[in-house]
Amino acid sequence: MTRIVLETDASNLHKGLTSDDLDRSTEGGLFRQIRNFMNQVFDRCVVRVCPRSCNKVADSLAAHGANVVRSGSVVFMNQVLEFVANLVSGDLPGASG
């Protein structure tokens, strides 16, 4: 992968990754490192703000992953969890929900 699109619902993360406006903040060093990494590794990296309501699948998967980490890791190699299949099928164009 040399060209990526990174979507986030965190406007401060977007600002930190696309400008130096937050470089003097507590997280500024991390933002600089990430920007440097993106510039070195990718030919093109677009960072976009996407409302959480438009990113239900990723938000739900992140919440599930955070919960699994707290309770002990689980790996599903050969199956798709039912809640994931339902999320993805509900997110298809033309799906109501």
**Neighbouring C-alpha atoms within 13 Å toward the C-beta of 30:** 7
Residues 59-76, mean pLDDT to the nearest whole number = 74
CA distances from 67 to 10, 12, 36, 74 (A): 20, 24, 31, 11
pLDDT score for 94: 66
Q: Say what the pLDDT of residue 31 is.
A: 97
Query: Across all residues in the chain, what is the average pLDDT?
Result: 85
Q: Compute φ and ψ for 67, nearest 5 degrees.
A: -70, -40
User: Does 85 fall in a domain?
Assistant: yes
Q: Are residues 42 and 65 in the same domain?
A: no
Same structural domain, 11 and 41: yes
Rounded Cα gap, residues 15 and 18, in angstroms: 5
Q: How confident is the model at residue 30, as a pLDDT?
A: 96
Confidence band, pLDDT 50/70/90 cuts, at residue 26: very high
Range(s) of the domain holding residue 62 = 53-90
Give the mean pLDDT of 25-50. 95
Count: domains in the chain: 2
Residues whose CB falls within 8 Å of the CB of residue 77, separated by 6 or more in sequence, listed in order = none
In whole angstroms, how large is the CA radius of gyration of the chain? 17
